[in-house]
Each structure stands twice: as structure tokens, then as C-alpha cells.
Amino acid sequence: MQALAAASKTVDCLKLVHSFHCYFLLVGDFDMPIIYQVHRVRDGNSFATRRVDAVQKGNIVFTLLASFQKEQKGFEHQQTTMPSVTPPERLLSLEETRERRIIDPRLPRSYRNKVATSEFIPWPIEMRFCDPNNSTNQTKSPPSLRYWFRAKGKLSDDQALHRCVVAFSSDLLFSTVSLNPHRKKGFRSSSLSLDHSMWFHRSFRADDWLLFVIVSPIAYNGRGFVTGEIFNRKGELVVTVTQEALLRTPKTPNSNTATVSKL
């Protein structure tokens, strides 16, 4: 999100990001500042291209290539359709879901106690799951996930901001869907994003409900691949997303093999 925001600030305000592709090169340090270096690759009448390098401790840990375009009329069609799901107003929020789990007598007492004593930090993004069994990492489930999301609070009318917010939101649970079929009791995993790409098809508001439909068609060779479609309330496809992540089982403390600290 920060890299896209940095790139957007260097582009003509009439041009909006229509696609970006990014690669996560090194594991970053949460305790160290990151410098975003924006390179002006091209400025045309209709399109502009920017490359952003995220630098930490002198190393490029992340790079993004983004393309911006002036909005214009053209051919239109939409082949994909939004699935029929429960509207967000009839679904539980994360806070309500947590409260239900604490008092649900059908759940083991040990699990309810764990939920009650775990620190709950509200996210800046409100999420409501259409598939209740997929809203937790406690059970094995299909390699798919559908949920509504929106920014908490009212945003300005700056479309660049709305696209940055959705870029941030898209990576919160995205790659973990490829782990769903492999979950079981005592399951532990380690994952790192390798790349992330987004295509913005239409303008939208990130503070209105958007439906995120995620599918993981394959996991192989230590990598999980996911695709996502984001729809507005009208059923219009507004964003398409893809990501690949490194998926591994954490090494045991007695293992002679060191855990992965860099790719």
C-alpha cells in the first residue's frame, strides 16, 4: 500500500493505477524504517509507468512496477458473475464472531478459553465472512474463501486512496487460502509472499462493501497460488488479484536444518 501510494503521488492526478506487479525480495524488519524510491519509467498522454523500490538497511526488500491510465471510454463486457451470497448486513462482524465462540457450548472449553484470553486487536478493515467455517484457521476447509470487506470510517473521494486501501486489504488473508485443504489438529505453517499482482477494472469506494472471492487452484513445489475477484454491491467486477506464496512447515527445535530467514 505504501509503495503504491508513493507512486501515485508522482503521477498526473487524472491518471489512476490500473495494474501493478510486485515482488517481495527479502524479509523486512518491522523495527526499521523503509525508504520508498520512486523511478519515473514513462510519462505518456494516456499512460504512465512507475517503479518503486523499498529500501531497508541499504537493501531492496521489495519492488513494485505500476501502470497508470487516464479513464476513457471503450469496449465493455463482463463474463464472470458475482456468486449469490448472504448480504453483509446479515453476517457477523469479527468482534461478534469472537463473542459467539467464547460462549458457544458446542466448542471445547479449552478452545473457548483460548479465544477469551487471546489479545484481540481490531483491524482497520471490517470483514464479514460468507463461509463461517473458513473464518478461522482451526479446521480443514476447501481452497476457497468469500467475504465482504470495507474500510472502517468514511474516506475522501480520492480514487487513488480507495485503490491503495483495497491493495492493502487484498493481502490480509489472501495466500493463506492455499493452506486450507492441509489444515488439521496441531497444524503449523510458515508462509512468505513471493509476488502479488492486481488489475483495477472500474472505480469503486473502499468504504462501501466489496465482496472478495478467493480460490487456490494449486499448491506445489513449496508454493501456493491464489486468484481473487472483487465485486461491488451491483455485481460489477472491480478488481482482479493474484498471488504466489512460499509455504513451508516450520522446523522443529531439534532439527539440524535452520529455519528460513530469507528467500
Cell of 103: 460462549
Mark 111-146 as b/e (b = at least 16 C-beta within 10 Å): ebeebeeeeeeeeebbbbbbeeebbeeeeebebbbb
pLDDT for 136 beyond 70: no
Domain ranges, residue 233: 123-263
Name the pairing type of β-strands 35-43 and 190-200.
unpaired
What is the rounded end-to-end Cα distance, in angstroms, of the chain? Answer: 22
Query: What are the pLDDT digits (tens) for 52-90?
Result: 999 999 999 999 999 999 999 999 999 999 999 999 999
> Quick check: 101 pLDDT over 80?
no
- 24: phi then psi, degrees, rounded to nearest 5: -95, 110
Mean per-residue pLDDT for 87-113?
83
Place of cell 523500490: 53
Helix axes 109-117, 94-103, angle to 10 degrees: 140
256 pLDDT above the threshold of 70: no
120 or 201: whose pLDDT is higher? 201
- The answer on 249 and 173 residing in a single domain is yes
3-class state of residue 152 by DSSP: coil
Q: What's the count of helices (H) and strands (E) in the chain, helices before strands?
A: 4, 10
Tell me, what's the pLDDT at 220?
94
Q: How confident is the model at residue 242 (pLDDT cuts 50, 70, 90)?
A: very high
- 67 and 127 part of one domain: no
Distance of CA 125 to the CA centre of its chain: 11
173, part of any domain: yes
Residues 21, 27, 32, 36, Cα dihedral to 10°: -20
The pLDDT tens digits for 215-240 are 999 999 999 999 999 999 999 999 99
Give per-residue pLDDT as tens, 153-212: 999 999 999 999 999 999 998 988 998 888 776 667 778 899 999 999 999 999 999 999
In a domain, 127, yes or no: yes
Q: What is the mean pLDDT of the chain?
A: 88
User: Is 145 a residue whose pLDDT tops 70?
Assistant: yes
CATH code: domain of residue 42 = 3.10.129.10
Q: Report the alpha-carbon distance of residue 65 to residue 53 in Å, rounded.
A: 9
162, containing H or E segment = helix 159-169
Whether residue 81 lies inside any domain: the answer is no
| In the predicted structure, residue 97 carries a pLDDT above the cut 90 | no
Asked whether residue 107 is assigned to any structural domain, the reply reads no
The answer on pLDDT for 4 being more than 90 is: yes
Q: Based on the domain organization, do 5 and 135 belong to the same domain?
A: no
Contact residues for 11 (Cβ-Cβ < 8 A; gap 6+): 48, 50, 68
Number of folded domains that form the chain: 2
Are residue 64 and residue 193 in the same domain, yes or no?
no
Q: Considering the entire predicted model, what is its pTM?
A: 0.87
Distance between CA 41 and CA 35 in Å, rounded? Answer: 18
pLDDT at 52: 98
Write down the pLDDT at residue 255: 41
Q: Write down the residue that cell numbers 496441531 correspond to.
A: 186
The pLDDT value given to residue 260: 34
- Residues 152 and 25 occupy one common structural domain: no
Residue 90 lies in a domain: no
| Catalytic (active-site) positions | 171, 193, 243
The whole-number pLDDT of residue 248 equals: 83
